[in-house]
Amino acid sequence: MLIAEVLPLLLGIAVLVVIAVIILRLAEVGLGWLPIVAIVRAVVQLALVALLLQGALNAWWTVAAFIALMLTTASVTSVRRARRMPRGRLGALTGVIVGSLTTLGLVLAFGLVDREFERVIAIAGIVTGTCMTVATLSMRRFAANLRTGSGEVEAWLSLGAKPRQAVQRLRSESIRETLLPNLDQTKNTGLVTLPGAFVGALFGGASPLEAAEFQIVVLASLILAGAITAVLGTHIAAGARVLPTPEE
C-alpha cells in the first residue's frame, strides 16, 4: 500500500478517535489518553501481524509461537486489570490460558475449521481476545460486587460458610452480567449485527454459506471460551479470604 493511500486512512482513523476522546473528556469519564494509546498500539500490532501472515508463518512451530505470544499478551493485560482482586491475577491468568487452549483444541479436534495457517491464527486470535475481555470484565465485576456486598459475605462467613460459599451469589451474578452482552449479540447475529468473521470471510472470497459456517463456529467457540474463562477465573478468585482493595 502506497503512502498516499495510507495517510488518508490514518487521518480518518485519527479524527474518529480524537472525537471519542473529546466526548469522554466532556463526560468526565476519566480514561485520559487511553483510547489514543489503544488505537496506536492496534495499528502497529496489526501491521506486524499482516507482515507475519504474508510469509513468516510458514510452519506449524511459527504458528504455535505466535499463538503463545497472543496468549502472553492477553494474559498480561487481564492480570494487570485484576490486580486489586485477591487471587484475581491467578484467576485471570488461568482463565485466559485454559479457556483459549481448550476451545481452540476442541475446534481443531472436531475439524470445525480447515487446518490452514491463516484460519488457525484467525480463530486463535478471536478466541484469545474474547477470553482476555471476559477475564477482565468478570474479575472487575466480581470485585465490585464483593465491595458492595461485603456485609452479605461477612454474614455468611459468621454463620460458618466457607469463602466460596459466602460469595457464590455475587460470583454467579458477575459471571452472568459478563457473558450476557456476547450472548445477546449471538442471538441477534444476522438481524442486528454482521460480525467481523462473517464480513471478513466474504471479503476474503468465501461464499456467503462458507462465511456463515465460519461465523457459526466462531460464535460457538466464543460461548465456550467465555464460559470457561469466567467460571474458572472467578472460582479461583472466590477462594480468597480477604475482600478486594478499593479502586483508586
pLDDT digits 0-9 by tens, 47-100: 777 776 666 567 788 888 889 989 999 999 999 988 888 889 999 999 999 999
**15 and 91 fall within a common domain:** no
pLDDT surpassing 70 at residue 128: yes
pLDDT at 248: 45
Name the domain count of the chain.
Answer: 2
pTM, rounded to two decimals: 0.83
**46 and 83 fall within a common domain:** no
**129 and 221 fall within a common domain:** yes
Closest to 245 in 3D by CA, of 132, 146, 138:
146
Higher pLDDT among residues 159 and 118, named by residue:
159
**45 and 65 fall within a common domain:** no
216, part of any domain: yes
Full residue range of the structural domain in which residue 14 is found: 1-56
176, part of any domain: yes
Mean pLDDT of 191-195: 66
**94 and 127 fall within a common domain:** yes
pLDDT at 2: 58
245, part of any domain: no
